[in-house]
Amino acid sequence: MTEPLLGRNIAVAIGGGIAAYKACDLVRELQRAGADVRVAMTKGACEFVTPLTLQALSGHPVFTDTFDAAQEHHYGHLELAKWADLFILAPATADLLARVKAGLGNDAVTTALLAFRGPVLLAPAMNTAMWDHAETQTNLAALLAQPRYRVVGPVAGLLADGDVGMGRLAELKDLVAAASSLAVSGPLAGRRVLVTAGPTREFLDPVRFLSNPSTGKMGLAMAEVARALGAAVTVVLGPVEGPTPRGLELVRVGTAEELLAAVMPRVEAADVFVAAAAVSDWKAQQVSPVKTKKGDGPETITLVRTPDVLATASAKVHANPKRPLLVGFAAETHDVGTYAKEKLAKKRLDLIVANDVSQRGAGFGADTNQVLVFDGSGEVLRADGSKRDVAKAIWGLITSRLA
Ligand code: CTP
- The string of pLDDT tens digits covering residues 249-305 is 899 999 999 999 999 999 999 999 999 999 999 999 999 999 999 999 899 999 999
Q: How far is CA 98 from the centre of its chain?
A: 32
How far apart are the CA of 343 and the centre of ligand 1, in A?
8
Q: Which amino acid is at 369?
A: N
Rg (CA), the chain: 26
Q: Which atom of ligand 1 is nearest to the CA of 310?
A: 7
Q: How far apart are CA 247 and CA 262, in angstroms?
A: 18
Q: Which atom of ligand 1 is nearest to the CA of 277?
A: 11
**pLDDT at position 325:** 98
Antiparallel, parallel or unpaired: β 155-158 and 164-168: antiparallel
**pLDDT at position 186:** 81
Spell out the residues 6+ positions from residue 59 whose beta carbon is closer than 8 angstroms to its own.
Answer: none
Residues of the chain with pLDDT below 50 are: 1
Contact by Cβ (8 Å): 12, 38: yes
Task: List the residue whose alpha carbon is closest to atom 12 of ligand 1.
Answer: 329
Cβ of 387 less than 6 Å from ligand 1: no
Cβ of 263 less than 6 Å from ligand 1: no
How far apart are the CA of 308 and the centre of ligand 1, in A?
7
Q: How far apart are CA 351 and CA 344, in angstroms?
A: 7
Cβ of 281 less than 6 Å from ligand 1: yes
Tens-digit pLDDT profile for residues 155-185? 999 888 888 889 999 999 999 999 998 887 7
Structural domains of the chain ordered from first start: 9-183 (3.40.50.1950), 192-402 (3.40.50.10300)
Q: How far apart are CA 142 and CA 206, in angstroms?
A: 65
**pLDDT at position 2:** 56
How far apart are the CA of 355 and the centre of ligand 1, in A?
13
Query: Hey, which of 235, 281, 312 would you mutate to test ligand 1's pocket, going by the most ligand atoms within 8 Å of its Cβ?
Result: 281
**pLDDT at position 1:** 43
Nearest CA among 110, 101, 103, 120 for reference residue 44? 110
Contact by Cβ (8 Å): 91, 78: no
Q: What are phi and psi of 102, to 5 degrees?
A: -80, -5
Per-residue CA distances from 134 to 123, 165, 182, 324, 366 (Å): 18, 17, 27, 50, 56
Q: Which of 9, 127, 139, 212 is catalytic?
A: 212
Is 212 a residue of the active site? yes
